[in-house]
Amino acid sequence: MSDARKISRRDLLIHGGITAAGLVLLPSHVLAQLARLAQDETAVAWTDGLGPPADSERVRLDWDGLDSWITPVEQFFDASHYQKPDIDMSTYKLEITGAVRKALSFTLDDVRAMPKKDIEFTLECSGNRAGGPPGGAMYNAKWTGTPLAPILERVGMLDSGIEVVFFGHDEGEEVMRPLRGKEVTVTQNFARSLTIDQAMGPDILLCYNVNDQPLPPAHGYPLRVIIPWWYGISQVKWLKRIEVRTSRYMGRFISRDYVTLREETHNGETVWRQTSVGKGRINSTPARVTRVGPTYRIYGAAWGVPLKEVQVRIDDGAWQTAEIIQGQDAKYSWKFWRLDWDRPSSGEHTITSRAISASGTVQPTPNDPYLKRKHTYWENNGQVTRTVQTVSG
């Protein structure tokens, strides 16, 4: 049964219906059937100015205009680190090489002929909050491909293998400055890696479709890897080669960039810890407020890890549990939530959300020591507070 059923027709009729503006975070498949009831629910603007940057050259998620649980392809955030490659499909093959018993290569048609799997997954850039909350470098999509694990079993990874590296066709020049010796400029392909155990996850896909259409060129055509619950940097596009290695791969985007620098204290001394960006973190944000008569409704989203619940706090009040209205049973996708706020007093109010994971981890406050001691902007996931002006009556 769809989560949309939890929003009763009686509830809608009592309040005179819902306008298109008020449906921004309701399930997209019920928009049309409920639109005819549209009368009373109206959007309330945030007063904090935390919308998408006006001068951004990249497409970013517009929380105020969000009207679909699955993000349309034309609204996907896009980031790449080298020039987008021009791939000759007449010669294209994906190689599986390295510490394997039998190296193999596959055309796109070969991969499409393998067992197919669909996964709905919310892809978030690890720098999503670099410009401040709530962040728009993310989107939710339906990904279609074939599981990687059976292919790795087919090539037969050797016991000496310790990790799997995904190389893209995109490439660029990197300058190596050794402590001794001359500076060296080399051409490298974009690449990221997983441990053997991580790479054998059953839901890691070699993906060729997104939202039931072939991957667009900007988003990895002909093949990309999709690794649910990991940040976008790990989702290598334009796959060229998958290599099983017997030693750690230390390319730029693992060892020098997309590295989180954190200050720690041991025995009264400050030490610095560097970790490569990898798995996603628990996150949520208030996204929209609407009004139905004297009742205000707060909508939002939560994502990043398996979720237990979302809580909302208005001003300095108690935390209240929000209702999940879409995505309750979606394993890897964001959840849309709602909280009714009855008859608030007139004036400016703050609204804060926090997600709680299935294991009990609580989304941290911005002042949490774990975040405050971080000196890079990657992996920011502090609680988001937004501001809204209400009128009583």
Are 220 and 87 within 8 A, CB to CB? no
Domains and CATH numbers, the chain: 3-70+279-390 (2.60.40.650), 73-257 (3.90.420.10)
- Residue 128 is given by DSSP the state T
Neighbours of 310 (CB within 10 A): 26
pLDDT at residue number 20: 37
Render pLDDT for 118-147 as a digit per residue (tens, 0 to 9): 999 999 999 998 878 899 999 999 999 999
Is the pLDDT assigned to residue 3 strictly greater than 60?
Answer: no
DSSP conformation letters of 183-251: -EEEEEEEEEEEEHHHHT-TT-EEEEEETTEEPPGGGTTT-EEE-TTB-GGGS--SEEEEEEESS----
- Average pLDDT for 174-199: 93
Degrees, nearest 5: CA angle 318-320-321? 155
Give the distance from CA 63 to its chain's centroid.
14
| Torsion angles phi and psi, residue 14, rounded to 5 | -55, -40
- Average pLDDT for 353-381: 96
Tokens, residue 58:
């990249």
Looking up tokens 């975040």 gives 371
Distance separating alpha carbons of residues 312 and 344, to the nearest angstrom: 15
Peptide bond into 216 cis (omega under 30): no
Are 4 and 26 within 8 A, CB to CB? yes
Q: For the whole model, what pTM was predicted?
A: 0.88
- Average pLDDT for 359-382: 95
Peptide bond into 214 cis (omega under 30): no
Bridge-partner residues for 48, per DSSP?
Answer: none
pLDDT at residue number 17: 35
Is the pLDDT assigned to residue 53 strictly greater than 70?
Answer: no
Render pLDDT for 215-234 as a digit per residue (tens, 0 to 9): 999 999 999 999 999 999 99
